[in-house]
Amino acid sequence: MKKIITISGMIFICLIVAGGIVFTGLYYYASRLDMDAKAYIDKIIPIITTSWSSEELINHASPEFLEEMPPEKIELLFDILSKHIGPLEEYKGANGKIEISISSEGKLITIGDYMAEAVFKNGPAKIRIQLIRRNDEWKIFGFLVKVKVKL
């Protein structure tokens, strides 16, 4: 009986150590992906919003985004934003997080959800940007600009 308890205890300790190693590895991987996503956002938002380039957004968009928001709608939206809030004057950076999940097919799915603050010629705005990572590449999954309208 003592031998069974000792073996069970050793197995339990091994499982705890293995779980700790897996958790640490996932935490490191997620932290690295989060830094990578934030760097991508901090690079791409100024490129897109300095001149409200619909072409830049389209080039960095995921297929799902373009299905919901075809190029002609993006061009119309950016024309309105360009006239309403003007070009980017100051980019203040983005904050957010990534989520990692596994699909039913066993594929790793990484989605980032970030909020960036910026100042444009005619006032401040917040930009919510969602990313999806496929084939080691980030693509824009969602793009929403929130502005305060002066009445």
Residue 49, domain CATH: 3.10.450
50 contacts: CB under 8 Å, gap ≥ 6: 87, 88
Highest mean pLDDT among 4-8, 13-17, 58-62, 145-149: 58-62
pLDDT reading at 40 higher than 70: yes
How confident is the model over 86-144, as pLDDT tens digits? Answer: 999 999 999 999 887 777 776 777 889 999 999 999 999 999 999 998 888 999 999 99
- Cα–Cα dist 55/57, whole Å: 5
Look at the block and give the residue holding tokens 């989520």: 99
| Domains: count for the chain | 1
Amino acid in the structure at residue 75: E
Q: How many CB atoms lie within 10 A of CB 39?
A: 12
Q: Residue 15's pLDDT is what? A: 73
Beta-sheet strands, E only, within the chain: 88-102, 108-120, 123-134, 137-147
List the domain range (segments joined by +) for residue 85: 2-147
